[in-house]
Amino acid sequence: MATDLVLVRHARSVVPTPDGPDELTRPLTDEGLAQARDLVDVLAVLRPTAFLSSPYLRAVQTVRPTAEALGLTVDTWWDLREWDSGIPPTSDYARHFAHSWENPDEARPGGESMARFDARLTRTLTEVAEEHDGGVVVIGTHGTFAARTLLAAGHAVDWPFLKDMPMPAVYRLRWHNGRPTNARGPGLRQGRTAEELIEQHKRLSWVDHVQLRTEADESFGTEDRTGGDDDPWKRGRG
């Protein structure tokens, strides 16, 4: 059985500064708190069975009003936290983020690489899906966490996509057999060409030809495909 995951990027939050609140305690602004209240009607119609969140305050504050309206609680999981970037809150942060997206195996002192982050979110969301098998789980989360999950789901997500992601943003996807599929939400274009599918998989921190074939079947059907010896979709049929 599959589990529906609803990733909710947090609402408008206090801008990080070198002398401001740390990542764990940085809250929503007044505007963000109002946005969180406005999400109640949006999320309640999905009939959530559970609410989880990153332990960071801004993520919890975003989903808590809906949980309370439905008589549920928000459980925080440490491994649902945002990417530990190791990037200080300075004016040139965007350059460092872009570099990390292009170089996923690199890690800064005190931080984790994108590749390690990808492995963490995949492991953690698989655990969430198994614990809440068949349910609808709302997860308070963050921009990079949501974006890397969407990338794993087969979408052409990159640093510019993340920069343009709204706050808040709601993405619904299905988690099955350790992988995300059927993602929907702001900024996602449905339908991909074969070239786009291959390029998306090149951006991942791992190579999974089985998943690539599965996504190819879903996008283009299961008729025979031909190509060169290095064509990851080439297959023999009896």
Give the torsion sign (CA, 125, 138, 174, 231).
negative
- Taking 60 as the threshold, does the pLDDT of residue 99 lie above it? yes
SS3 181: strand
228: in domain: no
Q: What's the pLDDT score for residue 135?
A: 97
233: in domain: no
Contacts of 9 (CB under 8 A, 6+ apart): 62, 141, 142, 143, 146, 165, 166, 167, 168, 169, 170, 171
98: in domain: yes
- Residues of the chain with pLDDT > 90: what percent? 74
| Residues 105-149 pLDDT 10s | 999 999 999 999 999 999 999 999 999 999 999 999 999 999 999
| Enclosing H/E stretch for 198 | helix 194-203
Residues 122 and 5: beta-carbon distance below 8 Å = no
Q: What's the pLDDT score for residue 236?
A: 36
Kindly report the number of other CB atoms within 10 A of residue 177's CB atom.
11
78: in domain: yes
Calculate mean pLDDT across residues 205-212. Answer: 57
For the sheet containing 179-184, what is the strand order? 74-76, 50-53, 136-141, 3-9, 169-176, 179-184
What CATH number did the domain enclosing 147 receive?
3.40.50.1240
Q: What's the pLDDT score for residue 202?
A: 63
216: in domain: no
Residues 189 and 150: beta-carbon distance below 8 Å = no
Kindly report the number of other CB atoms within 10 A of residue 116's CB atom.
16
- Residues of the chain with pLDDT > 70: what percent? 79
- Taking 50 as the threshold, does the pLDDT of residue 31 lie above it? yes
DSSP designation for 72: -
Kindly report the number of other CB atoms within 10 A of residue 97's CB atom.
18
209: in domain: no
Mean of the per-residue pLDDT values of the chain: 87
Calculate mean pLDDT across residues 8-24. Answer: 94
Concatenate the DSSP letters of all residues of 111-122 into one string: S--HHHHHHHHH
Residue 148 burial by Cβ neighbours in a 10 Å radius (0-12, 13-18, 19+) = buried
Which is nearest to 121 in space by CA: 153, 93, 86, 145? 145
Pairing of strands 3-9, 50-53: unpaired
Q: What is the pTM of this model?
A: 0.80
Using pLDDT thresholds of 50, 70 and 90, give the confidence band for residue 91. Answer: confident
Q: What's the pLDDT score for residue 58?
A: 98
194: in domain: no
Using pLDDT thresholds of 50, 70 and 90, give the confidence band for residue 23. Answer: very high
The total of structural domains in the chain comes to 1
| Residues 152-178 pLDDT 10s | 999 999 999 999 999 999 999 999 999
When mean pLDDT is compared across 23-27, 38-42, 135-139, 220-224, the lowest value belongs to 220-224
Measure the CA–CA gap between 80 and 85, rounded to whole angstroms: 14
Q: What's the pLDDT score for residue 223?
A: 46
Residue 101 burial by Cβ neighbours in a 10 Å radius (0-12, 13-18, 19+) = buried
Angle at 145 between CA 131 and CA 162, to 5 degrees: 150
207: in domain: no
**Which domain, by its residues, includes 44?**
3-184
Q: Is 141 left (phi over 0), alpha (psi -120 to 50) or beta?
A: beta
